């Protein structure tokens, strides 16, 4: 089932980029990021309350809070830089470079999470890197 969710994530990420490219026209990229973030915040909390999951907040560990806050800061940085890049460049070039995060995730997961990396994963990462280079150069 994870593959269905991952494909839906990719679809919505593609829509996000295309819709954002139109939406940032004529406004500051940081303001655009703030507007987008407010919508995401309302949507996420709406789902949490609608499903009753808000009752679990008190059981979230200190470690989870710390790493989720750090992840949120990383997300914020990613979105701010993505929107600025999208404002300055074409979506068809910015998005593939942004997706180089896949290769960086593989590398960081190997280093910090000690995840196994197979030859298939290495080959896939190399192909993604080659694809990014083709788009950029």
Q: Tell me the pLDDT tens digit for each residue of 40-98.
A: 999 999 999 999 999 999 999 999 999 999 999 999 999 999 999 999 999 999 999 99
Which residues have a Cβ under 8 Å from the Cβ of 107 and sit 6 or more positions away?
125
- Please state, for a pLDDT cut of 90, what percent of the chain lies above it: 91
Burial 86-113 (b: 16+ CB within 10 A, else e): bbeeebeebbbebbbeebeebeeeeeee
Quick check: 129 pLDDT over 90?
A: yes
Is 107 among the domain residues? no
* Structural domains in the chain (count): 1
pLDDT at 29: 95
Enter the pTM of the model: 0.85
Looking at residues 108-129, what average pLDDT do you find? 96
Helix (H, G, I), strand (E, B) or coil at 120: helix
In angstroms, rounded to a whole number, what is the distance separating the alpha carbons of residues 99 and 60? 30
Residue span of the structural domain in which 69 resides: 2-98
Cα angle 89-93-99, degrees, rounded to a multiple of 5 = 115
């Amino acid at each position: 089932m994870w593959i269905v969710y991952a494909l839906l994530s990719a679809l919505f990420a593609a829509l996000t980029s295309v819709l954002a490219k139109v939406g940032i026209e004529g406004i500051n990229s940081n303001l655009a990021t703030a507007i987008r973030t407010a919508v995401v915040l309302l949507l996420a909390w709406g789902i949490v309350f609608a499903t009753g999951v808000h009752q679990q907040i008190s059981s979230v560990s200190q470690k989870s809070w710390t790493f989720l806050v750090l992840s949120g800061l990383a997300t914020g940085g990613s979105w701010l830089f993505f929107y600025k890049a999208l404002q300055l460049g074409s979506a068809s070039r910015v998005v593939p470079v942004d997706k180089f995060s896949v290769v960086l995730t593989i590398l960081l997961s190997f280093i910090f999470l000690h995840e196994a990396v197979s030859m298939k994963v290495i080959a896939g990462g190399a192909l993604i890197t080659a694809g990014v280079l083709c788009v950029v150069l």
